[in-house]
Structure 1
């Protein structure tokens, strides 16, 4: 049985073309990407040890080995952080069988006050599970009609993978799906993420479970929305991490072009200063 760490190393190795590392083409292979022997040589470890890591038989590689693998795979800063996180939970931080307490859904008054100051911009408070905990009227304006806010407790991850409207209104659905699945590895806690994944997997299907084992951090790109009452909207996303005790993020959607800014002004017909909070 594999581990999150082993799955990531194998997925990253499979995604690398040997030629990009200056390695010769050795003809047809059973699997794509970098050979295990080539990665082991670059990292300065044995093939047998690398095999144990990838197959989940070694769950506690040393920091030196993790750094060597990160160097050998040419990981960027985000991927290195993810590698260290996966090593932590692979080493035993996920008990897995008991249902943990749900993540805190309370948004502090100071954060709600910050949202009010952001009106009429589109902004919301979320966590790594995708829960939409509070939002501005500008966010409601943008999301109105696509289905995300139709439930009592809106959740972007669940919406993307279980609501068929998501594929209609999100032209880059695969990119958004990659982002939401990857975010589950980052919290609010390892136990809560494991519980959420186990709860969602039966209804989300293979598009969800396949991404859980992919592990590669998606590249940040503008969020595109085919709004039902406007043209295509393109958004840059600014994410502000709140204190770790909150395990939440404040996300602001910024128009990525003049056409989006103009379209939103045309949509805006609600009075300013209205703040919505998900119960």
Structure 2
């Protein structure tokens, strides 16, 4: 699961509010455009930022598998429910493989779904960066700075802080169960493994509920929620790096909007080339 990785990098030194605004504007730009050239540029720049942050692949590899599964399911659904969407968008039809009914495989559909894939790949690195390089306390402060209720911001902060605790509790309970002969490895049959995992999850849920009650009681005793506003220990003022990052993404977003308006379409049509 994703959790904050405390490192020293230019990305980590940016404030949480700046990273939140950068991520929001970056996602907006990726949603606006279907220009393949811009999306490829987004992906390359996002991967460079991921490298600069020094965050290791193992910190988010599990989420990549889940996203990959959803990614494939999404593309299959797009083709099943709208196999000629690319033809409608680009106005031409180049059949690569004839299939029954309306399911002819066209170059336009492949190019359209390629752009959908590029949109995913453009946003994912920045999303990982935002979560993995932002301290939960500073994340809550950044949410409150952009006018989100401090109660909601604090709830999000607690949830992010709680993820490593849940992982640690699950491992401890799992090790204790395995020491008593409960097998959850691949050697056991699938049905038995699922029952054993459920047996581990129940103590985990009960311990989580107990911890939630403890935290709630502590917050209530300290008068949390009585005031309309609150201060934040992790809140930091913007620095030159923050202003530079926001200026950069603002210029990129403005260029995307201008290009979309000037061209009259969000789509880059490669099929207008003489090649086709």
Larger helix percent = 2
**Using CA pairs below 8 Å that are at least 6 residues apart, which structure has the higher relative contact order?**
2
Q: Which has the larger radius of gyration?
A: 2
Q: Which TM bucket (shorter chain)?
A: under 0.3
